[in-house]
Amino acid sequence: MSPPGSDPPLLLRREVLTWLALMALLALTAGSAFVPMGMLNLVVNLAIALAKALLVVFMFMHVRRGTPMIRVFALAGLMWLALLAGLSCTDFAVRFG
Amino acid sequence: MSTTAVAPAPARAPGVAEPFRDAAQQADAATLGMWLFLATEMLFFGVLFFVYALARSRLPEAFAAASRQTSVLLGTTNTAVLLTSSFTMATAVRAAQLRRHGAAALLLLVTAVLGIAFAGIKLTEYGLDYRHHLVPVLDFAFDPRLARGALAFFWLYFTTTGLHLVHLTVGVGIALAFAWREWRRRGARLHEQVEIAGLYWHFVDLVWIFLYPCLYLVQRA
């Protein structure tokens, strides 16, 4: 992107491609929502949201470059959330059937 | 028992605070602190997503009908705006790391402007929602067969997007403050601080990534 010997480029190919991928995924999820697929619509929407989130976390937030402790903290958030949701589901299933 | 001489405290690099050995350790600690905060934020928004999932599983028809009343055009535009702002923020962080202060200041300013555009579009949407009688308490009218579930949907819609908007506003303030500091070259460890501000910004984007299909795309087809 820049001639050799000059400053390192400000725009990285990796980050531009990430942005383009995010835009493509957005177009895909918005478009697919208007195609009647029943329950598959929900699956596609959530899968695309997850894909976008992973792109942001790994490409923009650089979790992989962080220390192992940072990855543990990020995962701990998800684990607590899973515990909270899991136990709440049990409660709702038992009490309200 | 041998006596050990107390070593004189090593001189710290500019911008490295007392408890830290060196700049790298301080940067790791700061990043870790932001991730810890973000973990609590995951729980904060996670609860709302859980309530949403539960209510939607019980009232699927009403949630589909209510979601069709939201503006998919404005919602999709806003998603594009926010995803783009994450890209400009990521590039601002890179500019800060390369010590290109002017570029970093400009990119942080662009990020803040995109955030303000998002807020403007969201507030416009709230205005439309009000005119369509979709605001709980103030003025809510819906097909009586589905009104109960639709009311739940719009309570969640305003709570989640409202809390997201508060987070975004804080992010805009942070982005503007760092744009100013980059412009004036204030602070010895500015690039590390900008990187942490970036983490927060990306998290706000992450919340919206999940809100968007949950609120706007429930059952359009």
Quote ipTM for the complex.
Answer: 0.89
B86 close contact with A: CB closer than 8 A: yes
- The architecture of the domain spanning B25-216 is Up-down Bundle (1.20)
User: Which among A49, A61, A78 is the nearest to B209, CB-wise?
Assistant: A49
Asked if residue A51 and residue A74 are part of one domain, the reply reads: no
Alpha-carbon gap, residue A53 to A1, rounded angstroms: 27
Domain count across chain A: 2
On the question of pLDDT at A2 being above 60, the answer is: no
pLDDT category at A1 given cuts 50, 70, 90 is: very low
pLDDT at residue B5 greater than cutoff 70: no
Residue B68 with chain A: CB contacts under 8 Å: none
**Domain range annotation of chain B:** 25-216
Residues 11-30, chain A: which have Cβ within 8 Å of B? 11-12, 15-16, 18-19, 22-23, 26, 29-30
pLDDT confidence of residue B50:
94
Residues A48 and A73 placed together within one structural domain of the fold: no
Interface list for A 40-69 with B (CB within 8 A): 41, 45-46, 48-49, 52-53, 56-57, 59-61, 66-67, 69
Residues A58 and A75 in one domain: no
Of B36, B86, B212, the CB nearest to A56: B86
pLDDT at A11 over 90: no
A58 in the same domain as A11 = yes
Q: Give yes or no: residues A78 and A51 share one domain.
A: no
Q: Kindly list the distances between the CA atom of residue B17 and the CA atoms of B22, B29, B41, in Å, as whole numbers in the listed order.
A: 9, 11, 27
Tell me whether residues B221 and A35 touch, CB distance under 8 A. Answer: yes
How far is the C-alpha of B74 from the C-alpha of B61, rounded, in Å?
23
Whether A52 and A79 share a structural domain: no
Q: Which of A58-72, B53-67, B68-82 has the lowest mean pLDDT?
A: A58-72
Helices and strands of chain A, counted as H and E runs: 3, 0
Q: Are residues A57 and A27 in the same domain?
A: yes
Residue B81 corresponds to which tokens in the numbers above?
Answer: 């705006």
Main-chain phi, psi angles of A55, to 5 degrees: -60, -45
Task: Looking at the structure, tell me whether residues A36 and A71 fall in a common domain.
Answer: no
Of the pLDDT bands very low, low, confident and very high (cuts 50, 70, 90), residue B4 is: low
If you average pLDDT over residues B10-14, what whole number do you get?
73
Q: Rounded CA gap, B90 and A13, in Å?
A: 12
Reply yes or no on whether the pLDDT at B110 is more than 60.
yes
**B7, pLDDT greater than 70:** no
Query: Which tens digits make up the pLDDT trace of B181-201?
Result: 999 988 778 999 999 999 999
Same domain, A85 and A49: no
Which DSSP category does A33 fall into? Answer: T
CB atoms within 10 A of CB A31: 10
For the record, the structure tokens of A27 come out as 């177009």
Quote the pTM value.
0.91
* CA-based end-to-end distance of chain B: 80
Determine whether the interchain pair B90/A15 forms a contact, defined as Cβ–Cβ distance below 8 Å: yes
A79 touches chain B (CB under 8 A): no
Which of B209, B210, B212, B219 to mutate: most A Cβ within 10 Å?
A: B209
pLDDT score, position B9: 62
Cross-chain Cβ contact B83/A59 below 8 Å:
no
- The DSSP code sequence of B11-35 is PPPTT--TT-SSHHHHHHHHHHHHH
Indicate if A57 and A72 belong to the same structural domain: no
B74 touches chain A (CB under 8 A): no
In this structure, are A54 and A76 located in the same domain? no
Range of the domain at A49: 1-62
Percent of chain B at pLDDT exceeding 90: 83
- Mean pLDDT is lowest, of A6-10, A25-29, B103-107, for A6-10
Residue-wise pLDDT for B148-157, tens only, equals 999 999 999 9
Residues A87 and A43 grouped into a single domain: no
pLDDT digit string (tens) for A66-80? Answer: 789 888 988 999 999
